Structure 1
């Protein structure tokens, strides 16, 4: 079996491409089950975030083109046009890549913690869909262990940085005082919660949270003395917002050029700062052409992210050492699995020989043979049975000049060096 990973991320593909390969929650289970039925693929998982979509598989072939063909077919894309944006890994490289991703070493913001939760969500989705087996499941578990060790043993997560934090940092550059601004947050997921938390810590005057499900918006808004609305109420409240940050799983834009134009008129063209953290995008790109609107996508946060990388470089170097060790540990476990059948067969053979020798010994005892005589015969007989086949094979190996097998036998049986 071979591990294969294929994916795109913020480094290899612009948001326009990434949003076409996104897998929202409502189609993920079906997609996983379809992927696991592709020829040669035995296990499958899909990680889909705003910054990356990655496919992890355990397959009987290392041919990545089978996986790429399925991705292109599922998303109605031409494989040739998709290929330039893709990267791929196999076996050891897959392990290392997953460990780095989960540890935040491959993130737009170095060391950001959200990706570990997203990786766990990908694992749970594959588990629920029945597309995980022993090997890929164990790889995910080792991935989580490695990420936790990186966070515990290095300073990679000491600074409060994330895409949400970068968005708030950018808002601080636009507005002198957040304490005089109203923020409208669209969505109620982890990214929006983190954004609200950072805004509150920086003294934002007022927070409005809009979500398709009002109860979720209300629960989140209550934590920050905010105000909750449904998405349908957005047009009525848009003009109140100085800062708009959106992160939903919607497949269609939520804010269009027309509604923003209307809001600007009500605001008498007072500037609006917008950050679209969603993939696919929540805010139509045409909104950015409007005067008095400062629209940023997730890709535009890169310059802020670059500033954070320097402070985490040393911790990242330490993390790479941890990951190297953990990759070796996982591959040692994986290699041991390939020997498991041999170990089981050898144990079964030895137990049969033991049972045969024991039955003969019990028969001798029933026939009145003294116990000490029976025990001596049992020990002698069992020893001969256990060493007969290995002794014969070692002798034949030497006769055939297979001295490597003779040396391996001495190593396996822990025999002292030949003097």
Structure 2
């Protein structure tokens, strides 16, 4: 049995590549089923966020090339281009990687908590698709448990550091007093919720939440005294907004250069600060060409994030130790589970042989054979049956010159000076 963690992230691929490899929520179930059908994959889950797209797999044998070829074909990418920015972790390293991701240790923002929720969602979708079985299921549960321990036992999540917080921090550098600013938030997911919370705490004068459905926008807006609108209403609201932060799952840009240009005219070229956290991007890159617009993507937030990470360094070291321990414990339990399966099969065969010899001894007794003779026959028959298969294999190992197998057998049967007592 083999585990594989395969994908790209903010460290290995640009936002242009990441948005091409991203899976939308609507795609994921069908993609998982196709992945298991077209590649030698028994179990699979897909995690797709603005900073990474990763596949978590269980295969009988490690065959990442087949999965990479499927991924390139699915997204219509050149395989060599994808291979150049993809990473592959197997078995213990795959387990450790998943636990690091869930704990926020592999995120752009060290220790950010949203990734754990996103991984739990990925697991739930994989269960819905029927692509998660017992082994990958156990790995996800162990991953969640380790991530919870990291959160509980270290200070890695105590500072308010996240992509959302970094975006608001950058806005604070551009606008000296946020309490005089108005903000437009596009989307209603976890990231935008965090942005709204940070902006509300900073006393932003007015917050508008735009979303594809008014119901979700209203639910978020109610939490922070904001105003909810539909995406179609953005052009009318845009001229009033000093800050625009967007994070949706849209496959097409929501804000184009023309709409922003028109808003600037109405604003008489009063500056606008924009952050596009989405992958694929919500705001056309050409918007950055406009005067009086400060447009940042998730990649541009790196400097702000780095400054806020210093306080988490010591906590990250402790978290890495917890992750290493969690990965070791899981692999140990997995190996023990494999041994249990072997022992169960061996015991079932031994019990079957015991029952056969016991029935033979009962027949001897019934036919008038003395008890001592029947018991002796039982002992000889059971001993011969139990030793037959190991004897045949040991002779085969010896003939093939497999000395290491003979030495292991000696250790397995405790023939190297150990006690005979159980």
Give structure 1 stretches of 5+ with no counterpart: none
1:394/1:405 contact within 8 Å kept: no
Cα gap change, 1:350 to 1:292, in 2 (>3 Å): same
SS in 1 for 2:42: strand
Q: Which segment drifts farther, 72-81 or 348-357?
A: 348-357
State the TM-score, normalizing by the size of structure 2: 0.89
Cα distance, 1:208 vs. partner?
Answer: 0.7
Tell me the residue number matched to 2:263: 263
Instruction: Kindly report which structure 2 residues correspond to 1:153-168, keeping only aligned pairs within 5 A, or say none.
Output: 153-168=153-168
Tell me, in whole angstroms, the C-alpha distance in 2 between the residues paired with 1:265 and 1:398: 85
- After superposition, residues 293-304 of structure 1 pair within 5 angstroms as 293-304=293-304
Distance 1:20 1:392 in 2: 58
- 1:37-48 → structure 2 map (5 Å cutoff): 37-48=37-48
> Match for residue 28 of structure 2?
28
Displacement of 1:64 in angstroms is 2.3
Deviation digits for residues 214-271 of structure 1, max 9, x if unmatched? 0110011001011111111111111111111100000001011111112112212111
Moved more, 1-10 or 276-285: 1-10
Q: Once structures 1 and 2 are overlaid, which stretch shifts more, 331-340 or 19-28?
A: 331-340
Aligned counterparts of 2:179 and 2:381: Cα–Cα separation in 1:
85
Q: What are the within-5 Å matches in structure 2 for residues 126-145 of structure 1? A: 126-145=126-145
Distance 1:62 1:409 in 2: 28
Alpha-carbon distance in 1 for matches of 2:195, 2:381: 71
In angstroms, what is the RMSD of aligned CA positions?
A: 3.0
State how far apart, in whole Å, the 2-side matches of 1:152 and 1:314 are.
15
User: Does the Cα contact within 8 Å between 2:10 and 2:51 map onto a contact in 1?
Assistant: yes
Residue 75 (structure 1) aligned with residue 75 (structure 2): yes
Cα shift at 1:282: 0.5
For 2:395 and 2:286, the matched residues in 1 are separated by: 79
Q: Secondary structure at the match of 2:46?
A: strand
Structure 2 vs 1, CA of residues 85 and 396 (structure 1 numbering), >3 Å: closer, same or farther? closer
User: Judging changes above 3 Å, is the alpha-carbon distance between structure 1 residues 19 and 397 closer, same or farther for their aligned structure 2 residues?
Assistant: closer
Shift in Å, 1:360: 6.3
- 1: CA distance between counterparts of 2:92 and 2:190? 31
1:384 Cα deviation after fit:
4.8
Matched-pair contact (CA < 8 Å) for 1:247–1:282: yes
Residue segments in structure 2 that go unaligned for 5+ positions in a row: none
Residues 360 and 63 (structure 1), Cα distance of their counterparts in 2 relative to 1, 3 Å cut: closer
- Distance in 2, Cα, partners of 1:391 & 1:71: 46
Contact kept, 8 Å, 2:364 with 2:374, in 1: the verdict is no
User: Which sits farther off after the overlay, 162-171 or 55-64?
Assistant: 55-64
Separation in 2 of the partners of 1:364 and 1:58? 52
Give the 3 Å change call, closer, same or farther, for CA 379–111 of structure 1 in structure 2.
farther
Q: Whole-Å Cα distance in 1 between the matches of residues 130 and 243 of structure 2?
A: 42
Q: The residue matched to 1:37 in structure 2 has which SS? A: helix
SS at match of 1:335: helix
TM-score between the two structures when normalised by the length of structure 1:
0.89
Question: In structure 1, what is the equivalent of residue 2 of structure 2?
Answer: 2
